[in-house]
Amino acid sequence: MIRIDDLALFVRTAALGSFSNAAREVDLLPGQVAAAIKRLERELDVRLFARSTRSLRLTAEGEQYLPNAQTVLDTLREGREKIRRESAELRGVLQVAAPSDLGRNVLLPWLSEFRHRHPQLSLRYFLSDQVADMFRNPVDVAIRYGQLDDANYIALPLAPWNRRVLVASPDYLHKHGRPRTPDDLLHHDCLLYTLHGRVYDKWRLGAKVVSVSGPLFSDDADVVRRWALAGEGITYRSWLDLNDDIGAGRLEVLLPDHPGEPLPLSFVCPHRKQFSAAVQQLHSLLRSRFAELQERSPKLV
């Protein structure tokens, strides 16, 4: 069986050019390093170094094997560092911003779970449908919808498969009928809300964009969801925001042959120096939870 210490000595000997130099680096005798290389050569049944009284160089087999040995050592080191990060007790303050509806109805229990896992960590949670400026506002992580092209940020995908969906309650559909085409929405009560500071009234369904209208409007996305649940009209929202209501039958997806526009969800940090152990572990938890959601989601494409 190959010893990890022998593998490490092989890599350092190749880098330093002699048994003596490698031995000095790890406080061993040159003969101990030479013995380690011989053990490794016996395990591999190849000659790794061509030796003479004045020089030591890699054989062709040694040059071929060296990148593999380095990869093994790098993988082991990364695994060790990951275990240390995840076993260390998280402390300090973690500041998270998220869209209001998603933050209340989807993320909140997951963040509570994360806090219970790390009781020494303080959590500050900011909910808003406005995009947070992460350089001006005290935020470590932002959960954001949409495509992020700003090179100043690190954006890691959480739910790249997410889309907007057109929904209404069974009660509304019983009273007003079910739209059969996107143009049928012109004859229905559509529930409107603000997006990026303006009324979101142009809904893309497949290749069609429909300018909709209705008697109800709010600047709070959760109010619009509640109106839809109460049978007040049709709304066009992120599937993630509505998945519990859809799964329970409180809302029904309309026009599935005209899919809504993509609305990927990302985990965003200002820069790599802020990708702390707490941020990394939160990302790992959220990524696994959204993967579970995807498994039970309908096909959105």
Neighbours of 286 (CB within 10 A): 23
The 3-class SS string of the chain reads CCCHHHHHHHHHHHHHCCHHHHHHHHCCCHHHHHHHHHHHHHHHCCCCEEECCCCEEECHHHHHHHHHHHHHHHHHHHHHHHHHHHHCCCCEEEEEEECHHHHHHHHHHHHHHHHHHCCCEEEEEEECCCCCCCCCCCCCEEEEECCCCCCCCEEEEEECCCEEEEEECHHHHHHHCCCCCHHHHHHCCECEEEECCEECCEEEECCEEEECCCCCEECCHHHHHHHHHCCCCEEEEEHHHHHHHHHCCCCEEECCCCCECECCEEEEECCHHHCCHHHHHHHHHHHHHHHHHHHCCCCCC
Nearest to 213 by CA among 226, 197, 200: 200
Domains of the chain: 4-87 (1.10.10.10), 92-161+264-295 (3.40.190.10), 164-254 (3.40.190.10)
Cα separation, 135 vs 147, in Å, equals 19
The reported pLDDT for the residue numbered 271 is 65
131 exposed, middle or buried (CB, 10 Å; 0-12, 13-18, 19+)?
middle
The reported pLDDT for the residue numbered 15 is 86
What are the average pLDDT values for consecutive 10-residue runs of the chain, which has 301 residues?
88 87 87 90 90 84 91 85 66 89 92 91 84 61 80 82 95 95 95 88 94 93 93 95 93 94 90 73 93 77 48
The reported pLDDT for the residue numbered 112 is 93
The reported pLDDT for the residue numbered 224 is 94
The pTM of this model reads 0.66
The reported pLDDT for the residue numbered 194 is 86
